[in-house]
Structure 1
Amino acid sequence: MTYDTVSKSDRLRLLLAEKSVTKALGAHSALTALLVEEAKFDVVWASGLEISAARAVPDANILSAVEVLDAAAQMAEAVSIPVLADCDSGFGNVNNVIHTVRSFERRGIAGICIEDKLYPKLNSFAEGPQLLAPITDFAGRIHAAAVERSELVIVARIEALIAGQGLDEALLRGRAYAAAGADALLIHSKSPEPAEVFAFRDNLDVDIPVIVVPTTYHRVTIAELAEHGFAMAIYANHVLRSSIRAVQATAARIAAEGTTANVESELTPVSEVFRLQGLFDMLKNQECHESVGREIAASVEKGKVP
């Protein structure tokens, strides 16, 4: 079996089962997802933070499930690699999770990630209350997702370390969510060092892929993650953060200098924008079909119906 002959969900499942660390990069639009694919990442992470920031609203369940779905689906349509969508806490209770699973699967999303916090959630790195859902409640959400999906990959995100509840609580939740039917666990941490996620992986006594998001412990390497047996690393918000800095720098220079003369050489050529949009392929296809149309019209005029 090869990746080209299976669905995107099964491809994601196969990637999670590999011994090497699968690499995912965050995106917030069809264009950024395409750039992720062209950079040879394995998976697009449809980032809740990035999607919210692209709409200039906080990552705190301000956007509706439909708005997040539309953004993720546009990414899925633009790329051939799997899209794993950040679905916050599932947009509500068990019933909302069931609707989320059905909706995202219909739109071609390979997998969804749901975190064990109360709705509405707050971004894990934001100052403010990080309120965990009871294990019974969240295990029910994961079970509902696992039962209702056809092939969709279900990732259960554990926020116990973010909420200051410690390793034992994180391990307890991991075991529960695996038993409820999760395909993978995501252990989240805001520590500047990877020690606590290493401890989680080393002490987890369940055979299930484990995903990490090395945002704050950014010095960790893929080799180190592989040594501890992690299945995937998600670089969740780097596309957004690098884009913001680039736009700020370019805008400031144009405003200060009153000309684009000194920035033009640093910008992406318009021809590259056209390529990413698929303009050249579109024009080629247009000419092909119009050429056939001209041939058909000429044959008809001569009384030779093809």
Structure 2
Amino acid sequence: MSTQSTRLVAALMGALVLGSTMGACGAEDPNQVAAPAAAKELKGKPHAEVEDQLERAGFTNVETEVREDLVTGWLTKDGEVEHVTIAGQDDYAKGKKYAPDAKVVVVYHTFPKTDEETAQSSTPAPQATAADEASSTGEESEGTITAKNNPELAKLLELKDPAAPEVAAFAEKYKGQRIEFDGAILALNPHGSYKTRFDFLVGAGDFDPNASKGPNFQFDDVNAFDLNIAGSEDSSSLEVGQNLHVIAEVGEYKEFQELFILEPVETRLR
């Protein structure tokens, strides 16, 4: 082989090696996740919606930072996102890849808590009967089952045994229909590895740390946005002991776990 041919072959082999090396260096990590939107697209959205969007994209380390700086809420809405940082970056494009556990911080605005609100959250509400609790507002949603218009629901909300046969019978008979009642958060746990999606255990009536009544109602894998909290999207009030007014669709009854699944329609804080 001539010297010129030898040099040509060597050059081609070198190019192939270099191309292979560059390709390996530029290969994407298949375990990375993509930003679901550009940073500027997330600004101004409800924080719960943004948190849900990020977690569904695969981010596992989503945190929130609350700025209690609203005065009127005219220009900036309660719960509105100021900015979102991913791995310390606040100017990223949609689709930019990050490690799933990259730190994500959602910064949003809300109103400062008043002294009255703080006092109310720590003061137990007086006990009431199921009939009284049928509607906190004195109004019933049209076509919705309440303790006032349905004796079966009234009885259900007063049960002492959450696994009583009436629970499974009610769930089967009224599956897919809406019910409305006053309840309280009995337990609140993260759903799986999520930090902003939860499983809510809800009892009937006002919160009582020493006793509960009615079935073990559960909102499964939800956040504040899913709960459709009337007049607010601030999830900071959602804690064990919070009294609620619930409008929800009847789901399945999980007999082994003694859980009565509800699909939230509207939730009001009481």
Relative to the length of structure 1, the TM-score reads 0.19
Structure ranking higher in helix proportion: 1
Larger Rg: 2
Structure ranking higher in strand proportion: 2
